[in-house]
């Protein structure tokens, strides 16, 4: 992160505490990842939650964003086969041969 | 069959730490047991990251050769599978760095939109169905996999390592050599872009 973006985020953080209702969606976006990671300070988190309560767009956006992460996970999950696919026999052989050459 | 059947069976019965010790002594049957026990999961992650069967196979070979030569650095603090997983991820990342960049779609067009006042432009979605049930539909699952595939390599890699493989931000930063701040920004953009590409699902177009 550059110095300028860090300081503008600092300015934003101060602004959001002073005038929580003035926070725009674009500003909310900058804090979203920290909000989801649970690393947002408690007071800022409260402001974020307040914006979400008032803003239909951000609520729907966040729901779809979360769902996308879940869909990514679900699409790759193989509940029927948690250890993954079998290694093709010719590949097992190639791996073992490479080791023999290595000594 | 590479080694005697009895040796193989004996090696198969070893737990992970005993297996690692046997490999450290140069035991070929133990090595084969290792490849068969852990190779599948490792091949899966190589395929996810590289999206190319030949490269994934080469990558798996490299990873196992590395595991063979540095098995004595395995300290048993983590599970053997975790240790191997990390080796194959690093080998795949190395390949991605060397690979000639394919023509990549810019991610900018997929990022969130705001109006002139900074208000978000976002349709109203109806999403009651859980992800697990959504991906049972082949069309949905295909769209999700293809959409992740469409992300530029740098973004796709971070999304896969964080959201699919389950590494934390610090671990991903260590693997890619980027700052944690950069990883978080990239993860956020990757998720936002994925969400944009998956909007047909949220709009009920794929029922
Ligand atoms: Zn908003």
Contacts of A64 in chain B (CB under 8 A): 125, 127, 195, 198-199, 202
Please determine, for residue A21, whether its predicted confidence score (pLDDT) is greater than 80.
Answer: no
B14 and B87 inside one domain: yes
Q: A64, B159: Cβ pair inside 8 Å? A: no
Nearest-CB residue to A98 (from B65, B131, B134)? B65
Per-domain residue ranges of chain A: 11-81
pLDDT (0 to 100) of residue B112: 95
* C-alpha B122 to ligand 1 mean position (Å): 9
Contacts of A61 in chain B (CB under 8 A): 112, 120, 122, 195
pLDDT band with cut points at 50, 70 and 90 for residue A35: very high
pLDDT digits (tens, 9 = 90+) for A40-51: 999 889 999 999
Contacts of A24 in chain B (CB under 8 A): 114, 117-119
pLDDT band with cut points at 50, 70 and 90 for residue A7: low
Alpha-carbon span A84 to B132, nearest angstrom: 18
pLDDT (0 to 100) of residue A89: 95
Beta-carbon contacts below 8 Å between A and B: 152
Chosen domain end from B98, B129, B159: B98
Residues of the domain holding B10: 2-98
Task: Return the structure tokens found at A10.
Answer: 């600092």
In angstroms, what separates the C-alpha of A32 from chain B's closest C-alpha? 8
In angstroms, what separates the C-alpha of A99 from chain B's closest C-alpha? 6
pLDDT (0 to 100) of residue B138: 93
pLDDT (0 to 100) of residue B14: 84
Nearest-CB residue to B122 (from A34, A61, A86)? A61
Q: Which of B71, B85, B112 to mutate to test the interface with A (most CBs of A within 10 A)?
A: B112
pLDDT band with cut points at 50, 70 and 90 for residue A83: low
Q: What is the DSSP-derived secondary structure letter of residue A88?
A: P
Let me know if residue B161 belongs to a domain.
Answer: yes
B118 and B79 inside one domain: no
pLDDT (0 to 100) of residue A60: 96
Distances (CA, A) of A48 to A34, A36, A52, A95: 11, 11, 6, 52
With beta carbons less than 8 A apart as the criterion, state whether A28 and A58 touch: yes
- Three-state secondary-structure class, residue B120: strand
Q: Which residues of chain B have pLDDT under 70?
A: 1-4, 101-102, 207
Q: A85, B44: Cβ pair inside 8 Å? A: yes
Q: A85, B40: Cβ pair inside 8 Å? A: yes
B125 and B171 inside one domain: yes
Please determine, for residue A2, whether its predicted confidence score (pLDDT) is greater than 50.
Answer: no
What CATH number did the domain enclosing B38 receive? 1.10.1740.10
B40 and B122 inside one domain: no
Please determine, for residue A22, whether its predicted confidence score (pLDDT) is greater than 80.
Answer: no
Let me know if residue B176 belongs to a domain.
Answer: yes
Q: Which of B188, B199, B201, B205 to mutate to test the interface with A (most CBs of A within 10 A)?
A: B188
pLDDT band with cut points at 50, 70 and 90 for residue A3: very low
B82 and B113 inside one domain: no
B12 and B84 inside one domain: yes
Let me know if residue B180 belongs to a domain.
Answer: yes
pLDDT (0 to 100) of residue A74: 95
Let me know if residue B103 belongs to a domain.
Answer: no
Let me know if residue B174 belongs to a domain.
Answer: yes
Let me know if residue B172 belongs to a domain.
Answer: yes
B7 and B89 inside one domain: yes
Total domains present in chain B: 2
pLDDT (0 to 100) of residue A84: 67
* Cβ–Cβ contact B134 with A under 8 A: yes
B139 and B166 inside one domain: yes
Let me know if residue B207 belongs to a domain.
Answer: no
Q: A95, B35: Cβ pair inside 8 Å? A: yes
Q: A55, B120: Cβ pair inside 8 Å? A: yes
Q: Which residues of B158-179 are buried (b: 16+ CB within 10 A; e: fewer)?
A: bbbbbbbbebebebbbebbebe
Whether pTM exceeds 0.95: no
Let me know if residue B144 belongs to a domain.
Answer: yes
- HSE-CB of B179 using CA atoms within 13 angstroms: 5
* Cβ–Cβ contact B163 with A under 8 A: yes
pLDDT (0 to 100) of residue A82: 58
The interface residues of chain A toward chain B in range 20-39, judged by CB-CB distance below 8 A, are: 24-29, 32-34, 37
B130 and B162 inside one domain: yes
């Amino acid at each position: 992160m550059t110095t300028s973006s860090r300081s503008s985020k600092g300015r934003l953080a101060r602004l959001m505490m002073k005038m929580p209702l003035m926070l725009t969606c674009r500003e909310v976006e900058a804090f979203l990842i920290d909000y989801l990671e649970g690393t947002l300070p408690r007071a800022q988190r409260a402001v974020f939650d307040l914006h979400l309560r008032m803003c239909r767009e951000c609520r729907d956006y966040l729901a779809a964003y979360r769902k996308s992460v879940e869909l990514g996970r679900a699409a790759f999950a193989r509940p029927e086969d948690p250890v993954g696919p079998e290694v093709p026999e010719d590949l097992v052989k190639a791996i073992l041969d490479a080791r023999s050459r290595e000594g | 069959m590479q080694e005697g059947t009895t040796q193989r069976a004996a090696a198969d019965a070893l737990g992970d730490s005993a297996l690692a010790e046997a490999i450290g002594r140069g035991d070929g049957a133990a090595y084969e047991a290792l490849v068969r026990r852990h190779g599948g999961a490792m091949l899966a992650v190589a395929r996810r990251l590289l999206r190319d069967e030949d490269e994934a196979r080469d990558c798996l070979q490299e990873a196992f050769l590395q595991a063979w030569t540095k098995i004595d650095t395995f300290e048993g603090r983590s599970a053997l599978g975790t240790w191997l997983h990390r080796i194959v991820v690093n080998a795949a990342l190395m390949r991605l760095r060397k690979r000639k960049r394919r023509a990549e779609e810019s991610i900018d067009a997929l990022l969130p939109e705001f109006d002139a006042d900074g208000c978000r432009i976002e349709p109203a979605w109806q999403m009651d169905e859980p992800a697990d049930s959504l991906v049972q539909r082949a069309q949905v699952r295909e769209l999700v996999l293809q959409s992740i595939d469409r992300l530029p390599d740098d973004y796709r890699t971070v999304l896969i390592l964080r959201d699919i493989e389950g590494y934390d931000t610090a671990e991903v930063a260590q693997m890619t050599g980027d700052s944690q701040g950069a990883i978080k920004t990239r993860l956020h953009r990757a998720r936002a872009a994925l969400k944009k590409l998956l909007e047909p699902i949220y709009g009920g177009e794929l029922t």
